[in-house]
Amino acid sequence: MDVRERTVVWALSIAYAATASAVAFAVPWNRHPSVWVIAGLVVLSAAVSGITFEVGSVTAVATPLGLVPLLFIAPLPLVPLLVPLSYALATAPEFLTRTKHLDRSIYAVCDSWLVLGPVLVIGMLASGPPKLEWWPVYALAFVAQFVGDLIPTVTRERLARAIGARESLMQAFWTYRIDAALWPLAVVASIVAFDEPLALLCLIPVLWLLHTFSHERRERYDAALELNRAYRGTVMLLSDVVEADDNYTADHCRGVVTLVTAVADELEIEHDARQELEFAALLHDVGKIVIPKEIINKPGALSDDEFELMKTHTIEGQVLLDRVGGLLGRVGSLVRSCHERWDGNGYPDGLAGYEIPLAARIVFACDAYSAMTTDRPYRAAMSQETALEELWANAGTQFDPRVVSALATVIRNGTHVESSPALDVQQVLARNAAIIGGPPAQLSLSARPLPRQ
């Protein structure tokens, strides 16, 4: 951990220890299970914590199957101590095999905040033998678990990693749906197990199923990540081919990527659509590798026949990407439409207005601006102001007016960053890696982080 994360995590852990001590004194000690039963509950909680499955960028844990039996059977004052103990037991193999840095062992305490609310609620309202008619209290305990877990998690993510509360809330929402589904099962099993602890063995088939599903899900994630790496490698290869064939086209495509990214931010395009959009921006001229160089680099105006041949580069680009298939096959359909006009007079299909994919409309406008502001063999680059005037003059005929407005805002505010071509590609690939399998956000034990060294 870096200094900031370590400071925040240790501060929350110390605060947990102090709060847990106060809670332990506030709740009654009126349960007396055997030491073996308590040990079994800790082992069960550790086993549950070891079964994780990925949900987005975090890993979810079937927390109630281990937490609720502790809340219903173990002495309540001990539960705030037993929970971090079970978490430490669950993660011990990772520290022993050095797949996790020992520095992170403190998370066993920091991630235990979720237990304090339920201990307090049950201790104050239903501290005796568990009964089904007390279900409103148990529902309140679940809410207390959610709130008691969420506040420290949001605080930690905000202070340690500058992750906003909204993102943390969205991740917590997805993982706590799993907790909400498992709480009733855990409650019923724990009520029976209060008198017959061996009844908790009925949870073993459920844990086995969750383990099986988590293993299969992890394999699918790994396959998706591997496929994504292959796509990114293909994009890099195609970019290198374009650069080897025509330096202007390569630099121009990468410049368009910078503009497209900024316009996508201005239009608030969702992350799910960014990958195809940015790949289309990078590869929109890939079909030019089949166009004769004498036409590409001709210093004067193209003849009618030459222009007709040049227009085929969008179709050739789609054909090339269709051979790859999958994600790049979908990008190919965008590449095909990157020279369609808003009024329907573009090529190759004469699409008009909203028939043209939004990604293609964005690339088209950014492509035109980049071309106008770049020196070519047959003309000097236009000024920024002149290029923007040209875009506005053709908004509603050649370009989508909303895209032109967003592009103009980006240019005038300077929110696009001029950078080297290599950096442009690196940024695109880094963003796309984060979309599918980037560095995971760390959340509570109900949404625990993926292993990190």
Judge whether residue 406 has pLDDT over 90.
Answer: yes
Mean pLDDT of the residues in the chain: 81
Judge whether residue 349 has pLDDT over 50.
Answer: yes
Answer with the residue of higher pLDDT: 15 or 449.
Answer: 15
The single-letter code of the amino acid at 330 is R
Answer with the residue of higher pLDDT: 157 or 408.
Answer: 408
Highest mean pLDDT among 159-173, 292-306, 317-331 belongs to 317-331
Residue 404 has a pLDDT of 94
- How much is the pTM? 0.57
Question: Binning pLDDT at 50, 70 and 90, where does residue 445 land?
Answer: very low
Residue 118 has a pLDDT of 94
Judge whether residue 352 has pLDDT over 60.
Answer: yes
DSSP designation for 347: S
DSSP-based three-state secondary structure for 399? strand
Q: How many CA atoms lie within 13 Å of 239's alpha carbon, on the beta-carbon side?
A: 24
Distance CA 312, CA 350 (A): 14
Q: Which of 375, 411, 359, 337 is nearest to 247 (CA)?
A: 375
Q: Which of 58, 65, 68 is nearest to 153 (CA)?
A: 58
**Residue 258: how many other CB atoms lie within 10 Å:** 22
Question: Binning pLDDT at 50, 70 and 90, where does residue 207 land?
Answer: confident
318 CA to centre of own chain: 29
Judge whether residue 338 has pLDDT over 60.
Answer: yes
Question: Binning pLDDT at 50, 70 and 90, where does residue 72 land?
Answer: very high
Residue 301 has a pLDDT of 77
Distance CA 446, CA 427 (A): 32
The predicted-structure confidence for 234-292, as pLDDT tens digits, reads as follows 666 666 666 555 544 445 556 678 888 889 989 988 877 887 888 888 888 888 888 88
Residue 451 has a pLDDT of 33
Judge whether residue 416 has pLDDT over 90.
Answer: no
Answer with the residue of higher pLDDT: 304 or 174.
Answer: 304
The predicted-structure confidence for 107-134, as pLDDT tens digits, reads as follows 899 889 999 999 999 999 988 889 999 9
Helix (H) or strand (E) holding 448: strand 447-448
pLDDT > 70 fraction of the chain, expressed in percent and rounded? 82
**Strands 52-55 vs 447-448: parallel, antiparallel or unpaired:** unpaired
- Domains in the chain (CATH in brackets) are 3-209+440-448 (1.10.1760), 228-418 (1.10.3210.10)
Contact 451, 58 (CB under 8 A): no
Answer with the residue of higher pLDDT: 451 or 328.
Answer: 328
Buried b (16+ CB within 10 A) or exposed e, 299-310: eeeeeeeeeeeb
Distance CA 453, CA 449 (A): 11
Judge whether residue 138 has pLDDT over 50.
Answer: yes
* Those residues with Cβ within 8 angstroms of residue 197's Cβ, 6 or more apart along the chain or in another chain: 33, 37, 40, 73
The predicted-structure confidence for 13-71, as pLDDT tens digits, reads as follows 999 999 999 998 999 988 889 999 999 999 999 988 888 776 655 677 888 899 999 99
Residue 233 has a pLDDT of 67
Answer with the residue of higher pLDDT: 245 or 204.
Answer: 204
